[in-house]
Structure 1
Amino acid sequence: MNDVARSAGVSQTTASFVLSGRTDMRISEASRARVQEAARALGYRPNVTARSLRTRTTQTIGLVSDAVTTTPFAGEAIRGALEAAAVHDHLLFITETAGAEAAESTLVNALLDRQVDAVVLASMYTRYITPPRELHGRRVVLLNCLAPGFAAPSVVPDETEAGRAAARLLTERGHRTGIWAIGGHYALPSNPEGNFAGNERMRGLQEVLREARASLDGVVECEWNAEDGYRETSRLLASGERPRALVCSTDRLSFGAYQALAEAGLSVPGDVSVVSFDDQDIASWLRPGLTTVALPHYEMGRRAVELIFADGPLGTDVHRVPMPVRERGSVGSPGP
């Protein structure tokens, strides 16, 4: 600062006011121009740490996630968060627990030690969590997770409406019978209560089917991987059932179902319609292309950071982000 002031021929106080952007002092335009030119020529950069002591803000946000590097959707959520932070001239510090709960408090404390202005606590699949006690009373937004009783807003995908959208894709084409759900609530011995996405999607799906005087012929509960979709669809066909439509809980399940249907000599959508969720890359590569309801990870990441800059307390609302439908070629009218 002294160097800039000396080069510009002004006092240090004048240089400080100009470089901090203050306009409440009477400084001539010529002096301002000299200070700014001197700062450029000398490569002056303000001491952000020192400035934060005065402003009580570091213009940084910490994001703590259970898995960033190992999930296919994380990149879009992070991109949305990064771009929203940049709009507000904030940096985003990204950390990952790799699923180790013991690491969460350590990472949170490390961010708080660096005086971040707020924390985004994220999960790469929608679930209920218990935030670390260090975050109580802090400015926090929950991304893709919920914590009842914790004073923070949550940003999650609107899974119930996604289930309704999947049902409408079928009922609007005339499907009323022969509809099976593959994956269901994902209620297994290791996961007896199912999962948030499965429960919400099934609720919305069944709601619209009832309104259309249609119903599911059955729900096959299984894990949500390609091999599960193949195995359970093969079993369903081997049992003598003749589905007209499959609602698969993930695109990976749909991939397996496609293979099982092809082996049985059934075409999509001529014989069996298939509708899915997620919109992974594989959805557009399947033939025919898979109609699916997309997870809005970019918009969720952006919305979570935008909430931080709201005036006043953040509240405890649950913000449900719409899941757009990607119509391709896997849904048709019911066959004979």
Structure 2
Amino acid sequence: MARKAVGIKDVAREAGVSVTTVSHILNDVEFARASDETRERVKSTAERLGYGANRIARSLRRQQSEMIGLLSEEIATTPHAGRIILGAQEAARKRGLTLVLINTSRDELDIQRDTDALLRQQVDGVLYATMYHREIDLPRSLRSVPTVLIDSTSQDGSVPSVVPDEEGGAYVAVNELIGHGHRRIGFVTNSDDVPATRGRLAGYRRALAEAEVEFDPRLVVAEQSETPGGYKAARSVLDRDRADRPTALFCYNDRMAMGAYRAAAELGLRIPADLSIVGFDNQELIAEGLYPALTTVALPHFEMGEWALGALAELMVGDADSAAKDSYQPAVLSCPLVRRDSVAAPRPAGGSAGD
């Protein structure tokens, strides 16, 4: 699984100096003979090519720190996604590796600064976990060290990655509603154009098509994927005559589902007697705390962390300076349904307590 990386010979050739000179300058070898101009040229060349001093030291000494860096893009502050860290940590412990965590933001400068901080710790590889499923431009510094992405893919496909099966999870969620007899199913979705939004809409449509239920675009309402957005979207799709109103809602995530609960209550709709709701994410503080408890689809956070650490361990075994794949296809992990109490069969016509 090794991929091509910039080598010390590449830096030496570009800077017009010997390999030894590059090694001495980037590793701050005492008494190394090099002018200030040469030092600056070598360092700027190494930075431009994405080659770190710690990488050179490892390749020359053939040593490993047995430490793995986990660059967490805000996920350390979210309890549900913290299972990514747990999955990676347990997989690392089994291999005798230590996980070093840095929580960063989505700001490009912060990411670059925190990536550099990890590399200064001489980590043997990096796991880069993003806040939500999307495509990213790999930080420059990570081109010189084995790297695996979690919950994202690289724009050029140059590194292994693992993502949730967004379409499959939505398909399972909507099939749960169809299995209970619902045919008019609304979709409260995200307004951001990201892979999760596209995948969940595709899963919703596929489940309807297989059940021979005609897709009605009026039942799909997009808002910001937070509780207020879920409330606003649910009010829009539910506040209509009973004959035109959906008997069930599939919500983009559990936060939007929480907003849908509020909208249903304001309209006098009981869950699940008058309206069934299924969420996505399985944020347990929300899903178990709602009344009735929310049926939802679980994101495989633990499994993604575990898979990514295993893939990184394999990547580290190879010769990082050898030829590698031109691109990697992301690993896609399934999203299982977690049944609770928010789904029931639709009420027969004329029997609703919500009118």
Do both share a fold (TM > 0.5)?
yes
Q: Name the residue aligned to 2:258.
A: 255
Tell me the equivalent position of 2:89.
Answer: 82
Report the Cα offset of residue 279 of structure 1: 0.8
Return the offset for 1:100: 2.0
1:317–1:150 Cα change, 3 Å = closer
Aligned to 1:124: 131
Q: Structure 1 runs of 4+ off > 6 angstroms?
A: 50-53
2:136 is equivalent to residue 135 of structure 1: no
Counterpart position of 2:70: 63
Matched, 1:283 2:304: no
In structure 2, the residue matched to 1:23 is none
Distance in 1, matches of 2:223 and 2:334, equals 26
Contact 1:52 1:58 (C-alpha < 8 Å) held by counterparts: no
Partner of 2:223: 222
For residue 126 of structure 1, report the CA deviation from its aligned partner. Answer: 0.8
In the TM superposition, residue 87 of structure 1 has moved relative to its aligned partner by 0.9
Q: 1:238 to 1:51 in 2, by over 3 A?
A: closer
Which of 312, 328, 331 aligns to 2:340? It is: 328
Instruction: State the 1:90 CA deviation.
Output: 0.8
Shift of 1:82: 1.1
Matched letter for residue 318 of structure 1: P
Q: Which range moves more in the overlay, 282-291 or 67-76?
A: 67-76
CA deviations over 1:251-288 (Å, ceiling 9, x no partner): 11111211221222211122111111011121112222
Distance, in Å, in 2 between the alignment partners of 1:215 and 1:331 is: 21
Per-residue Cα deviation, 1:273-322 (whole angstroms, up to 9, x for no partner): 11110111211122221110011111111111111122546871311111
What is aligned with 1:102? Answer: 109
* Preserved CA contact (<8 Å) 2:223 2:232: no
Query: Residue 335 of structure 1: SS of its match in structure 2?
Result: coil
Q: 3-state DSSP class of the match of 1:79? A: helix
CA distance in 2, matches of 1:52, 1:74: 34
Counterpart residue identity of residue 290, structure 1 = L
Q: Letter of the aligned partner of 2:210 in structure 1?
A: E
Aligned mates of 1:123, 1:131 — CA distance in 2: 11
Question: Which deviates the most, 286-295 or 306-315?
Answer: 306-315
Matching residue's letter, 1:236: V
**Aligned: 1:294 with 2:298:** yes
Deviation at 1:152, TM superposition (A): 0.8
Gaps of 5+ in 1: 1-49
In structure 2, the residue matched to 1:9 is none
Structure-2 separation of matches of 1:209 and 1:274? 16
Q: State whether structure 2 residue 255 is matched by structure 1 residue 264.
A: no
* Residues 61-70 or 197-206, more deviating: 61-70
The answer for the alignment partner of 1:172 in structure 2 is: 179
1:123–1:259 CA distance, 2 compared to 1 (3 A): same
Q: Deviations over 1:144-192 (max 9, x none)?
A: 111131421111111111011012101212222x211012xx23xxx4x
By how many angstroms is 1:110 displaced?
2.6
Q: Distance in 2 between matches of 1:328 and 1:244?
A: 18
CA RMSD, Structure 1 to Structure 2 (Å): 2.2
1:237 is aligned to 238
Q: Give the secondary structure class of the aligned counterpart of 1:309.
A: helix
Letter in 1 for 2:139: P
Larger deviation, residues 311-320 vs 243-252: 311-320
Of stretches 308-317 and 234-243 in structure 1, the one that deviates more from structure 2 is 308-317
The residue aligned with 2:16 is: none
The code of the aligned residue for 2:129 comes to: A
In the TM superposition, residue 54 of structure 1 has moved relative to its aligned partner by: 5.2
- Cα-to-partner distance string for 1:120-159 (whole Å, 9 max, x where unaligned): 1110211110011222253110011111314211111111
Structure (1 or 2) with the larger CA radius of gyration: 1
Amino acid in the other structure paired with 1:230: Y
Match of 1:40 in 2: none
Query: Which residue of structure 2 lines up, in the alignment, with residue 153 of structure 1?
Result: 160
Q: Which has the higher contact order (CA 8 A, sep 6+)?
A: 2
8 Å Cα contact 2:186/2:237 also seen in 1: no
The runs of 5 or more residues in structure 2 that have no matched partner are 1-56, 319-323, 349-355
Conserved 8 A contact 1:136-1:151: no
Per-residue deviation at 1:205? 1.5
Question: Is contact 1:118-1:139 (8 Å) kept?
Answer: yes
Encode CA deviations 1:51-94: one digit per residue, 9 max, x unaligned.
99854211011111221343232321111111111111111111
Question: For 1:51 and 1:169, how far apart are their aligned partners in 2?
Answer: 52
Letter in 1 for 2:337: V
- CA 1:150/1:51 → structure 2, altered by over 3 Å: closer, same or farther? closer
Cα separation, 2, equivalents of 1:160 and 1:277? 11
Distance in 2 of aligned mates of 1:261 and 1:97: 37
Asked whether the equivalents of residues 224 and 253 of structure 1 are also in contact (C-alpha less than 8 Å), the reply is yes
Structure-1 residue corresponding to 2:198: 199
TM-score normalised by structure 1 residue count? 0.77
CA contact (8 A) 1:248 1:277 kept: yes
Query: What is the letter of the counterpart of residue 99 of structure 2?
Result: L
Q: Following TM superposition, by how much is the alpha carbon of 1:230 offset from its aligned partner in structure 2, in angstroms? A: 2.0
Residue equivalent to 1:209: 208
Change (3 A) 1:242 1:289: same
